[in-house]
Amino acid sequence: MLFVPLHAAAHAPARTAARTGAHGTERFFDEAVARLFGDTGAGCAPTAATAPVSPALDVRETDTHYTVTLDLPGVQREDVKVAIDGRGVRVEAPAPAEPVLAEGERLVWRERRAAGFARRFALPQELDQTRSSARLDAGVLTLTLGKKAPPAASTLQVD
Q: What is the pLDDT of residues 85-125, one digit of tens each?
A: 999 999 999 987 777 889 999 988 888 777 899 999 999 99
Which pLDDT score, from 0 to 100, does residue 98 have? 78
Distance CA(151)–CA(157), nearest Å, equals 18
In sequence order, what E strands does the chain have? 57-61, 65-71, 81-85, 88-93, 117-122, 127-137, 140-147
Which pLDDT score, from 0 to 100, does residue 99 have? 79
Q: Is 91 inside a domain boundary?
A: yes
Distance CA(100)–CA(88), nearest Å, equals 38
Distance CA(125)–CA(14), nearest Å, equals 52
Same-domain pairing of 32 and 69: no
Give 143: exposed, middle or buried? Use CB within 10 Å, 0-12, 13-18, 19+.
buried
Report how many domains make up the chain: 2
Q: Is 26 inside a domain boundary?
A: yes
Strand ordering across the sheet containing 127-137: 57-61, 65-71, 140-147, 127-137
Rg (CA), the chain: 22
Which residues share a beta bridge with 75?
none
Q: Is 15 helix (H, G, I), strand (E, B) or coil?
A: helix
Which pLDDT score, from 0 to 100, does residue 133 have? 97
Which pLDDT score, from 0 to 100, does residue 103 have? 93
Same-domain pairing of 32 and 83: no
Same-domain pairing of 83 and 121: yes
Residue 87, domain extent = 57-98+115-147
Q: Is 157 inside a domain boundary?
A: no
Same-domain pairing of 32 and 64: no
> Which residues of the chain have a pLDDT value below 70?
1-50
Spatial CA neighbour of 68 closest among 149, 133, 129: 133
Same-domain pairing of 32 and 86: no
Q: Is 10 inside a domain boundary?
A: yes
CATH number, domain containing residue 69:
2.60.40.790
